Amino acid sequence: MQVEETFLKGCYVVTPKVYWDERGYFFESFNKARFEEQTGLTVSFVQDNQSLSSKGVLRGLHFQEGDYTQAKLVRVAQGKVLDVCVDLRKESTTFGHYFSIVLDAIDHKQLYIPKGFAHGFLVLEDQTIFSYKCDNFYHKESERGIIYNDPDIGISWDLPTNELILSERDRKLPTFKAYLDGN
């Protein structure tokens, strides 16, 4: 496993060693000891989540606040997504900046997103299975979000707006500025 920090401190791209042969492939999707050795972090995942989505589905940008903030290790088990995280840590030098990466079921890269980040993804292939580990439990009352097309963040989703499929909830998320102002 190779772990590389992105320009967002504490956010890592994890590339597993994939072993291919005539039967298919094998890879270790997570190894706590190796991950902690390469990052210097201590992780304890308590919940795994998975979604199945069609091409064009955009989920996010979501996060939890307070005692229920979550770090996540995200990956694609089938298909392909454009995965995006936004630094919401006010003390960070990259506050308000985002990182994006294509995650797919071919190279099996993963993204570790630390606490204090918003997260979202755009599905690029039909029947995509997205899977992630969380280090804290889901808590509905602590759930927050920021609108995917916020002009101050400026995420390049690379798909026309009319081709995006969003939940009603995600369409109504506040802007980054409104979130910061407490609205």
What's the pLDDT tens digit per position in 91-125? 999 999 999 999 999 999 999 999 999 999 999 99
Residue ranges making up the domain that contains 28:
2-180
> Which amino acid, one-letter code, is at 132?
Y
Q: Which are the catalytic amino acids?
A: 62, 132
The tokens 């694609």 sit on which residue?
Answer: 76
What is the pLDDT, as a whole number, of residue 180? 92
* For residue 178, pLDDT beyond 70: yes
* Residue 115 CA, distance from chain mean position: 11
What is the Cα–Cα distance from 152 to 24, expressed in whole angstroms?
44
What would the two tokens of residue 159 be? 């798909």
CATH for 67: 2.60.120.10
Per-residue 3-state assignment (H helix, E strand, C coil) for 119-167: EEEEECCCCEEEEEEECCCCCHHHEEECCCCCCCCCCCCCCCHHHCECC
10 burial class (0-12, 13-18, 19+ CB within 10 angstroms)? buried
* For residue 183, pLDDT beyond 90: no
- Where is pLDDT greater, at 146 or 159? 146
Q: What's the whole-model pTM score? A: 0.95
What is the pLDDT, as a whole number, of residue 82? 98
Total count of domains within the chain: 1
Mean of pLDDT values over 9-26? 95
